[in-house]
């Protein structure tokens, strides 16, 4: 494909969103990486990228400050960071990542750094399996309780299902990874269930915060977690796989 016919990143990102809910996880990941790249390009344009290249942990500081003082932006930044982490962003590539896992696209990477930052995290396949299994357990839990739930309850159940599945599979994730992966997972599940007509950062932030912190939703988080843990354990037993 000639350079004149290369699709823009925005075309790839928002074109993916139109592929349907069957590909919603992939689409949200692409969109998240697209907005992550925009943020990295902003750092380049303002001349502060060298600081972040020298001290990568400044991204963690930014996330904490945003979560503390501008929570919607903090959650949005954290979700885009999670989407980018699966593509192994590197300082040499200015932390800019390719949009798709299956393509070694260099359209977003600065000249001279095209070969950098294109490898998928070695844990991506394992994490993807957990996410797919958690999605099945989440849907199973919603069907099992036989009552209609509001968005924040569905989101809380998604967090519980993700946590229970992680525990059952024995995947080791840090608190930060659990937070970012859980947030991204619940957003994908809400979209997959048709609860998102459009991507609204303020609405996503509100639902995510309630799902994660509301004491009123603790029971549904725990119940969905136990359901997912039990179902995943039973499935692994049937397949002869070890459970944690």
Could you write out the DSSP letters of every residue in 121-166? PTTHHHHHHHHHHHHHHHHHHHHHHTS---HHHHHHHHHHHHHHHH
Give the pLDDT confidence score for residue 239 in this predicted structure: 65
Q: Consecutive sets of 10 residues in the chain, 244 residues long: mean pLDDT of each? A: 52 50 61 89 85 84 82 86 85 88 45 39 65 92 90 95 94 78 81 75 80 93 96 80 57
Q: Which phi and psi angles does 153 have, rounded to 5°?
A: -70, -40
- Other C-beta atoms lying within 10 Å of the C-beta of residue 240: 6
Give the pLDDT confidence score for residue 27 in this predicted structure: 66
Give the pLDDT confidence score for residue 217 in this predicted structure: 96
């Amino acid at each position: 494909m000639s350079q004149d016919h290369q699709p823009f990143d925005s075309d790839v990102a928002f074109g993916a969103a139109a592929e349907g809910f069957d590909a919603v996880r992939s689409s949200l990941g692409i969109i998240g990486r697209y907005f992550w790249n925009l943020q990295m390009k902003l750092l380049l344009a303002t001349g502060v990228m060298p600081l972040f290249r020298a001290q990568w942990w400044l991204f963690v500081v930014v996330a904490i400050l945003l979560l503390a003082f501008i929570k919607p932006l903090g959650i949005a930044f954290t979700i885009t960071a999670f989407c980018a982490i699966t593509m192994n962003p590197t300082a040499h590539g200015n932390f800019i990542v390719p949009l798709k896992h299956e393509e070694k696209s260099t359209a977003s990477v600065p000249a001279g750094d095209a070969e950098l930052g294109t490898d998928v995290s070695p844990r991506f396949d394992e994490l993807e399996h957990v996410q797919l299994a958690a999605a099945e357990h989440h849907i199973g839990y919603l069907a099992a309780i036989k009552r209609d739930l509001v968005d924040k309850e569905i989101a809380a159940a998604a967090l519980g299902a993700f946590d229970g599945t992680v525990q059952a599979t024995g995947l080791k994730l840090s608190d930060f990874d659990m937070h970012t992966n859980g947030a991204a997972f619940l957003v994908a599940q809400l979209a997959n269930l048709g609860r998102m007509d459009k991507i609204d950062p303020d609405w996503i932030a509100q639902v995510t915060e309630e799902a994660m912190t509301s004491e009123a939703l603790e029971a549904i988080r725990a119940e969905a977690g136990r359901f997912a843990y039990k179902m995943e354990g039973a499935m692994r037993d049937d397949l002869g796989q070890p459970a944690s």
